[in-house]
Amino acid sequence: MSDKICPDGKPIRTDSPAQPGPTEQAEDEATVQLAAEELSVTKEKQVTGRVRVSTVTREHEELVDQDLLSERVEIETVPVGRQIDTMPVVREEGDTTVIPVVEEVVVVERRLMLKEEVRIRRVRTTERHEERVTVRRQEAVVTRYPAEPHDAATSPPADVEGKQPKEK
């Protein structure tokens, strides 16, 4: 076993003069660490392309088939001509509203005479109605523009009217 001193002042021990092991050094060699590398990682944004989204409105005709409900009134005047004692009230008879019309008749004494009734009846009808109408639909159109190597910091291409598209 022999002891030697390295240039940095540390002793080097060897147990046998044969082949040096991984922790041992040969008699004429000395190891000195001169520099070490360190790793630094950063990220950069890189434009790989641009996209423009616009909408297109398309029109097509469509057949609309719906039931339409309408309501009308029929007015019928029914002469009655009988004497009554009190004023009758407006009443409902099914779909018909009955409105009494009275008049006073001068006799030696006064009496209420039911002269006539006005009958109002609601009549509902349903009919099939077809009509051609124009229906509009919007679609999104996406246009992709590849990135140019020198285009990383410049603005996107101008649209048809020469205006710059809005970027989000």
pLDDT in tens, 97-135: 999 999 988 777 777 889 999 898 988 999 998 999 999
Overall domain count for the chain? 1
Domain-located, residue 91: yes
The alpha carbon torsion through 143, 146, 150, 153 (nearest 10 deg) reads 50
Domain-located, residue 99: yes
**pLDDT the model gives residue 161:** 45
Please check the confidence at residue 73 and state whether its pLDDT lies above 70.
yes
Domain-located, residue 37: no
Please check the confidence at residue 53 and state whether its pLDDT lies above 80.
yes
Beta strands in the chain (DSSP E): 2-5, 11-14, 49-84, 91-93, 96-106, 110-146
Q: What percent of the chain has pLDDT over 70?
A: 71
Domain-located, residue 126: yes
Q: Is residue 164 within 8 Å of residue 155, measured between CB atoms? A: yes
Q: 40-46 — which CB contacts under 8 Å span 24+ positions?
A: 46/147, 46/152
What domain range is 119 assigned to?
63-130
**pLDDT the model gives residue 77:** 92
Domain-located, residue 5: no
Domain-located, residue 3: no
Domain-located, residue 104: yes
Domain-located, residue 109: yes
Write the CA distances from 126 to 69, 99, 121, 122, 130, integer angstroms.
5, 28, 17, 13, 13
